[in-house]
Amino acid sequence: MRFSTLVLAALAGLLGGAIGSHRTVYAQETGADIIRGKNFVLLDGAGHKRGEWTMDSSGEPVLRLFDTEGRVTWQTNKAGAQLIHQP
């Protein structure tokens, strides 16, 4: 391996490391075990939405579970939880 190739590779690695360490992460608070967000989506191995935790229009938290067809099977509401669709 030529010396110039080795130097170029080292510089590229340092530059990439410097750029990568200065990226902004919006989903978590740095240095804490807290994850913050407005919507959380659970995906299966194929990338299909299987769960969702979000806020409804009145600001109440809502948790929904989806079947393999993308239909809501279970969700929470102000009164509690309800089964929507049984596969």
Domain count, the chain: 1
Question: Tokens standing for 54?
Answer: 């979000």
CB-CB contact of 49 with 70 (8 Å): yes
Read off the pLDDT band of 8 (50, 70, 90): low
Tens of pLDDT, residues 15-31? 566 555 555 555 555 56
Give the pLDDT confidence of 27-85 residue by residue, as tens digits.
555 566 777 888 999 999 999 999 999 988 888 889 999 998 899 999 887 777 777 76
- What is the residue range of 79's domain? 3-83
Q: What's residue 50's pLDDT?
A: 94
Which H/E stretch holds residue 3?
Answer: helix 3-20
Q: Give the end-to-end CA distance of the chain in Å, rounded to a whole number.
A: 61
pTM of the full structure: 0.54
- pLDDT for the residue numbered 15: 57
